[in-house]
Structure 1
């Protein structure tokens, strides 16, 4: 307890000067940038390629330390060094954020299906890994809207990818809308050293490593260097059906049952 002598005038708190305010703000900006670069970064899901695992309007946290750090871990990707610091290989089945192979300013999020040396092929809509059919179990019909309010309707499956580097198998959901088309009957891909093979969980509405034409648009194999981080969980999820000004609808737009969903 602070004592005040009777009759004495309490001292006034020294007011912050403009320089001190700027210094305080600068320190916090540096701290936040350090956290964003080294530990954790939020991302928004704008498209339907990872349905049903991730919905349009999900906000997720991505951890940066899982694979080490490259220049793509930092804001604006300054070319301060080459390669990755404390490089750690991803695991098959990870949901990862990485930079688009044709434009390193764009972030992509997909599931890592294949690692260096893996043989990957789609036959009749089913995934084969190293010559073995990847098992899946039907969960029945499923329908949800994409970013353009177009239904994404099909069969939802539980797919089980074999683990890598001694890790346990990864069971996760996928959506299949058709078994036809070039994405469902492919050549056999062999993942080169230093790269990985990525696919969306919405298998028939995903621009991913299955597309490898030399037209400057397709994703192709993704360099390990492009990895940004590993997706961990959904911290907010919002389905913007009504106009923003209809604030009374806001509580009903939140997907309460999807909050804090973890990536599998």
Structure 2
């Protein structure tokens, strides 16, 4: 029997293959730009709501579209580092969002750091016009402390976590493979949104000055309050600072998959209890 490439010709087959790959990439690009963006949780700043190794899709339709809705491609192993500004930089100076709506207090939001272009995921606590402050580790919004109730202790094994192999921060001093502890609380924001937060130990960011959120900008914090680089630290000091509306990517609603290991192929480290877990 003659080989297929001999019957049809090698070059027509090659052209069809290239066309198939091209349109597959176009469809994938449209899906990622317009609807959902995959996101792996690389750090522990949102524990215990999000754990290192959680995988989710970011809902880009939730707040409309800006330059930040364009995909980024970062593969450091081969030197590829393309951000949203590389694809859609011509839109970066536009403040308005197409089909835009603002996030609400308590939403878990993915946004692009305006300086280095990395994607961050934090919880929105301050909207335009709010006065935000931390006093003795308690969040104050518009000069009123939010409601905080003790909710036990969050525990995890003190061991390297995720692809980066980072060890968790603990309120106790455990040895390797011992139990790491953090105090857990339920925080309720002024709009009634409730979520868990963790406390490790006194930190400089437990007491801050007053941040008045400018128009068109937002204030974000991690749920793991003592292990989060967020809006409490200015961009000039390697923090996040205020986040502009145009830098918002979308909302995180649900964990789709979760792995505690250094590779998703290590099936014995999968956290099946977190598959398709809705986020508060």
| TM-score, normalisation: structure 1 | 0.84
Q: Does 1:148 align with 2:159?
A: no
Q: Does 1:120 align with 2:138?
A: no
Pairing partner for 2:217 from 195, 210, 222:
195
C-alpha distance in 2 between matches for 1:33 and 1:251: 29
C-alpha distance in 1 between matches for 2:235 and 2:104: 26
What are the Cα deviations for residues 153-180 of structure 1, in whole angstroms up to 9, with x where unaligned? Answer: 32111111122xxxxx2111111112x2
Shift of 1:63: 0.7
Q: Does 1:20 align with 2:20?
A: no
C-alpha distance in 1 between matches for 2:65 and 2:277: 25
The structure that is helix-richer by fraction is 2
Contact in 2 for aligned 1:101/1:220 (Cα 8 Å): no
Contact in 2 for aligned 1:143/1:151 (Cα 8 Å): no
C-alpha distance in 1 between matches for 2:37 and 2:129: 31
Q: Please, which moves more after superposition, 56-65 or 144-153?
A: 144-153
Shift of 1:181: 2.7
What are the Cα deviations for residues 30-74 of structure 1, in whole angstroms up to 9, with x where unaligned? Answer: 111101000011100110100000001111110111111111111
Contact in 1 for aligned 2:231/2:241 (Cα 8 Å): yes
C-alpha distance in 2 between matches for 1:186 and 1:80: 37
What are the Cα deviations for residues 178-207 of structure 1, in whole angstroms up to 9, with x where unaligned? Answer: 2x2321111111100111000000000001
C-alpha distance in 1 between matches for 2:113 and 2:169: 26
Contact in 2 for aligned 1:98/1:229 (Cα 8 Å): yes
| TM-score, normalisation: structure 2 | 0.79
Q: Does 1:176 align with 2:176?
A: no
Q: Please, which moves more after superposition, 197-206 or 252-261?
A: 252-261
Counterpart of 2:41 in structure 1 is: 45
C-alpha distance in 1 between matches for 2:235 and 2:218: 17
Counterpart of 1:67 in structure 2 is: 63
What are the Cα deviations for residues 68-94 of structure 1, in whole angstroms up to 9, with x where unaligned? Answer: 111111123222322321221111111
What runs of 5+ residues in structure 1 fail to find an aligned partner? 1-11, 164-168
Contact in 1 for aligned 2:169/2:200 (Cα 8 Å): no
Counterpart of 2:116 in structure 1 is: 103
Q: Does 1:185 align with 2:207?
A: yes
Q: Runs of 4+ in structure 1 displaced over 4 angstroms? A: none
What are the Cα deviations for residues 233-260 of structure 1, in whole angstroms up to 9, with x where unaligned? Answer: 111111116xx6xx7xx34311111111
Secondary structure in structure 1 of the residue aligned to 2:204: coil
C-alpha distance in 2 between matches for 1:36 and 1:196: 24
C-alpha distance in 2 between matches for 1:260 and 1:41: 16
Number of equivalent positions: 239
Contact in 1 for aligned 2:44/2:168 (Cα 8 Å): no
Shift of 1:21: 2.1
Counterpart of 2:275 in structure 1 is: 259
C-alpha distance in 2 between matches for 1:214 and 1:37: 30
